[in-house]
């Protein structure tokens, strides 16, 4: 990833004289330095903005700097907002308004009119908020004392969402083969998606992958086999099947790296010239941070890579997932998620095993090697991006992953089990009403709040199914939202 940073732009005006402005600048520098120690990305103090020109200039620089992942504004003093209009109207980076104050307490004895003039964020931040509201600017607003842990946590969380936006805007997806025949939800308007989200989604021939696979050397495979052995238990005698997956992994990685792609998709319906559907290969690529979507699902592939990047510094655990089957026993209602092969081992509760099994779906000449494991317990979300025709909708649901309640010894794939909010059945009703896909990104790192922030930055619809959601409230929300997005 790039060395992302955020720019701190502090509002003021020339009215107060150089002494006040010097104090504002010193404090802004101190705040940026101290916050940077605690935040996931550095906060760089850039300017005490006192004029239209200064603001327009710093915004131009921020737009131009690929390492700048967003701007954070705050008004230490009053800062008349007409001088912000030209700059804000040109701003192309994620925008957070930190409504804070340098001092925590009102100093009872010392407070006088000088103090009031210097410390009037309560005044200045309202003027600043008005102009952003008037300009209809998508923005995050965080209010509170800047030294408070809650404020810092919220700022850090938003920074990660903003980095997700930067990663999205440079996303390249490599497609091998088309979407699975006749499937609707994995389709989408790639032109609209590139316009809104920045993704470059293009196709490469499976034949070129097969050629690249043929050029992989035994030495390269030997080295990757050592990595496999260090990370996983080998629970098969069919070493050739594992070596074949290593060959596939190396070839896919070479092709993606040559094109700067962070995600890929393939389909079991187009494996011409390949002996096995990539299983272990795809799983190990995902473990390295690449996104993936099965059955040609390029949307979930890119979203997986974006959530992996957003969760950077957490436990790295965001993965391609698919709702498979339910346990509907009253009191033990769970969803079982898995995929044909391709579940990322970042969520493994224990050490994964490499196994080979027959795969009836697709054109596999040989039994594909795959990692088999149980997913870990923990609070998480599942997220699905769908194309509503004219706009994208991101649906997110809160879930609680558990240790699978059954051993399922004959299930030859990795599995994750969870309880969904507000309950399995109501959750399913809501998910289906919203049009959510069977493919999702499951994340133990990225929160619903971060996905909401990301959707706001990308200007797409966001739907959150949580403990308070009812089918009735959701139906109304979707109806109104549909009208609003058509008018937009």
Nearer to Mn ion, 278 or 294 (CB): 294
To the nearest whole angstrom, how small is the minimum distance from the Cβ of residue 318 to Mn ion? 17
**CA-CA distance, 252 to 196, in Å (whole number)?**
27
To the nearest whole angstrom, how small is the minimum distance from the Cβ of residue 320 to Mn ion? 9
Contact pattern from residue 316 through residue 355 relative to Mn ion, giving x for each residue in contact according to CB under 5 A and a dash for the rest: ------x---------------------------------
Nearer to Mn ion, 322 or 374 (CB): 322
Nearer to Mn ion, 293 or 404 (CB): 293
To the nearest whole angstrom, how small is the minimum distance from the Cβ of residue 182 to Mn ion? 14
Sign of CA dihedral 305, 307, 309, 312: negative
Contact pattern from residue 23 through residue 52 relative to Mn ion, giving x for each residue in contact according to CB under 5 A and a dash for the rest: ------------------------------
**CA-CA distance, 419 to 479, in Å (whole number)?**
27
To the nearest whole angstrom, how small is the minimum distance from the Cβ of residue 11 to Mn ion? 49
- How big is the chain by its Cα radius of gyration, in Å? 25
Chain position whose Cβ is nearest to Mn ion: 294
Nearer to Mn ion, 197 or 341 (CB): 341
To the nearest whole angstrom, how small is the minimum distance from the Cβ of residue 438 to Mn ion? 7
To the nearest whole angstrom, how small is the minimum distance from the Cβ of residue 398 to Mn ion? 22
Nearer to Mn ion, 99 or 301 (CB): 301
Contact pattern from residue 266 through residue 295 relative to Mn ion, giving x for each residue in contact according to CB under 5 A and a dash for the rest: ----------------------------xx
To the nearest whole angstrom, how small is the minimum distance from the Cβ of residue 295 to Mn ion? 5
Per CB under 5 A, which of residues 294..323 are in contact with Mn ion? Answer: 294-295, 322
Q: How many residues bind Mn ion (CB under 5 A)?
A: 3
**CA-CA distance, 110 to 118, in Å (whole number)?**
13
| CA neighbor of 146 nearest in space, from 96, 192, 112, 187 | 96
Nearer to Mn ion, 132 or 321 (CB): 321
To the nearest whole angstrom, how small is the minimum distance from the Cβ of residue 296 to Mn ion? 10
**CA-CA distance, 267 to 311, in Å (whole number)?**
27
Nearer to Mn ion, 297 or 421 (CB): 297
Question: SS3 for 99-161, per residue?
Answer: ECCCCCCCCCCCCCHHHHHHCCHHHHHHHHHHHHHHCCCCCEEEECCCCCHHHHHHHHHHHHH
**CA-CA distance, 152 to 158, in Å (whole number)?**
10
**CA-CA distance, 57 to 312, in Å (whole number)?**
31
What is the DSSP pairing of strand 200-204 with strand 332-338? unpaired
Neighbours of 13 (CB within 10 A): 18
| CA neighbor of 95 nearest in space, from 43, 141, 145 | 141
Nearer to Mn ion, 295 or 398 (CB): 295
Q: If you ran DSSP here, which 8-state letter would residue 367 be given?
A: P
Q: Which residues bind Mn ion (CB under 5 A)?
A: 294-295, 322
């Amino acid at each position: 990833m790039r060395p992302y940073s955020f720019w701190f732009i502090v509002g003021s005006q020339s009215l107060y004289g150089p002494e006040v402005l010097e104090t504002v600048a010193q404090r802004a520098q101190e705040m940026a330095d101290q916050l940077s120690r605690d935040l996931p990305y550095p906060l760089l103090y850039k300017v005490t903005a006192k004029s239209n020109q200064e603001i327009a200039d710093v915004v131009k620089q921020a737009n131009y700097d690929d390492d700048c992942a967003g701007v954070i504004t705050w008004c230490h003093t009053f800062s008349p907002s007409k001088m912000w209009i030209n700059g804000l109207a040109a701003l192309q980076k994620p925008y957070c308004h930190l409504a804070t104050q340098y001092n925590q307490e009102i100093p009872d004895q010392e407070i006088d009119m000088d103090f009031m003039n210097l410390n009037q964020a309560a005044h200045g931040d309202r003027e600043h908020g008005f102009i952003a509201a008037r300009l209809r600017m998508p923005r995050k607003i965080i209010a509170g004392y800047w030294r408070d842990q809650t404020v810092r946590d919220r700022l850090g969380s938003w920074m990660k969402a903003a980095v997700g936006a930067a990663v999205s805007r440079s996303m390249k997806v490599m497609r091998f083969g088309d979407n699975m025949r006749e499937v609707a939800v994995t389709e989408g308007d790639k032109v609209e998606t590139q316009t809104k989200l920045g993704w470059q989604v293009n196709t490469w021939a499976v034949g070129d992958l097969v050629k690249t696979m043929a050029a992989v050397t035994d030495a390269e495979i030997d080295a990757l086999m050592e990595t496999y052995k260090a990370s996983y238990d080998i629970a098969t005698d069919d070493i050739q099947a594992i070596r074949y997956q290593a060959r596939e992994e190396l070839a896919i990685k070479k092709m993606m790296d040559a094109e700067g792609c962070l995600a890929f998709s393939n389909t079991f319906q187009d494996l011409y010239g390949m002996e096995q559907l990539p299983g272990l290969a795809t799983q190990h690529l995902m473990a390295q941070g690449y996104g993936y979507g099965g059955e040609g699902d390029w949307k979930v592939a890119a979203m997986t890579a974006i959530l992996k990047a957003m969760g950077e510094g957490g436990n790295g655990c965001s993965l391609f997932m698919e709702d498979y089957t339910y346990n509907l026993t009253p009191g033990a209602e769970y969803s079982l998620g898995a995929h044909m092969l391709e579940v990322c081992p970042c969520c493994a509760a224990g050490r994964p095993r490499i196994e080979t099994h027959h795969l009836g779906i697709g054109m596999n000449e040989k039994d594909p090697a795959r990692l088999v494991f149980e997913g870990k317990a923990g609070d998480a979300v599942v997220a699905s991006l769908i194309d509503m025709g004219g706009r994208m909708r991101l649906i997110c649901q809160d879930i609680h992953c558990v240790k699978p309640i059954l051993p399922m010894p004959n299930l030859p794939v990795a599995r994750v089990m969870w309880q969904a909010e507000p309950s399995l059945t109501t959750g399913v009703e809501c998910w289906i009403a919203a049009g959510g896909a069977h493919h999702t990104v499951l994340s133990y790192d990225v929160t619903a709040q971060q996905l909401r922030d990301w959707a706001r930055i990308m200007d797409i619809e966001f739907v959150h199914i949580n403990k308070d959601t009812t089918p009735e409230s959701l139906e109304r929300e979707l109806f109104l939202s549909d009208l609003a997005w058509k008018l937009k």
